[in-house]
Amino acid sequence: MDIRQLKYFVGIAEAGSLTEASRRLHIVQPALSQRLGDLERGLGVKLVVRGRVGTALTPAGTELYERAKRILRQIDYAAAATREKAGVVEGVLSIGLLRSLSPLLSARLFGAIREAMPGVQPQLRVGYSAELERLLHKGELDMATLVSATAVEGARGTVFSERLSLVGSRERLRALPRRPRLQDALAVELLLSPMQPAHRLVMDASERLGLSLRILGGIEDLSSMLELCEQGVGATILSTFAARRAVQRPGLIALPIAEGGLERHVRIAMAPEAGWSEAMLVGESLLARLLSEAVKRS
């Protein structure tokens, strides 16, 4: 088993078919099939099952796929670290950003990385905290912004904490206090999606407090949810950064919720298996600075 075999195998697994993999890997299909066969014979196990519509991994193939990705990632880290010793900073820097932060950070972070390290290719991925943490531990991200239930101390601890806000039309929220408690939200019909971490936090808190929120339903897509809020269908609850963008829509206002325990603590986490390269350390510093600036602006 060699590095090229692993690269080809990962390519087949991610493409879902030998035809697509041969196109992506720039190798003719018979040669790719031969490489796969050599790998399977060398290991003495079947890695891929071929069907009419593509390929699927066997349990053994799935195990090798996860390990191969980490091995190839480590090889990339080793190559980058070696080049850095010669004063060359280059390669791919993969960063995961929370959905609520991406509109404020993505373009700025991309530009800052390119300016500081012209030889580095930033790859920014957007997702919820649990998804980004999973990708981080699988070795598919170098670093990510994650949400913790409690503040984390230390050099790589919490970058900032943010409260949640009730967002809706001025007409719907005008009878509420300027800093409502969660109990005050009982007077409003809410649009909450359990797919959104902030909404799950609210649902869990309401259950602990014995409150029965008036939930109409929810949409995972924030833009569609805010459109319904503008129409007066209901109100929703968002993080500070998401609420800041929401109130740019005409007719929407945001009321910070004065309730203990309804906070999100955002931190930067680094890939656990990575030998942190110069590019990663510079990227982390830039991300922390831009996060701090975004907090001040909000």
End-to-end CA distance of the chain: 53
Cα(43)–Cα(39) distance, integer angstroms = 6
Cα(276)–Cα(286) distance, integer angstroms = 15
Is 161-262 in the same CATH topology as 88-159+264-297?
yes
pLDDT cut 90: percent of the chain above it: 47
pLDDT in tens, 84-118: 666 666 788 999 999 888 988 999 999 999 999 99
Confidence of residue 198 (pLDDT cuts 50, 70, 90): confident
Residue 155 pLDDT greater than 60, yes or no? no
pLDDT (mean) for 116-138? 91
The residue length of the chain stands at 298
Residue 16 pLDDT greater than 80, yes or no? yes
Residue with tokens 């509420």: 176
The domain locations on the chain are 3-71, 88-159+264-297, 161-262
pLDDT in tens, 25-46: 889 999 999 999 999 999 999 9
CATH architecture of the domain 161-262 equals 3-Layer(aba) Sandwich (3.40)
- Contacts of residue 81, defined as CB under 8 A and 6 or more positions apart, other chains included, come to 275, 277
Protein fold of 88-159+264-297: D-Maltodextrin-Binding Protein; domain 2 (3.40.190)
**What pLDDT shows up at residue 60?**
94
Confidence of residue 156 (pLDDT cuts 50, 70, 90): low
**3-71: what CATH class?**
mainly alpha
Cα(195)–Cα(38) distance, integer angstroms = 43
Cα(31)–Cα(28) distance, integer angstroms = 6
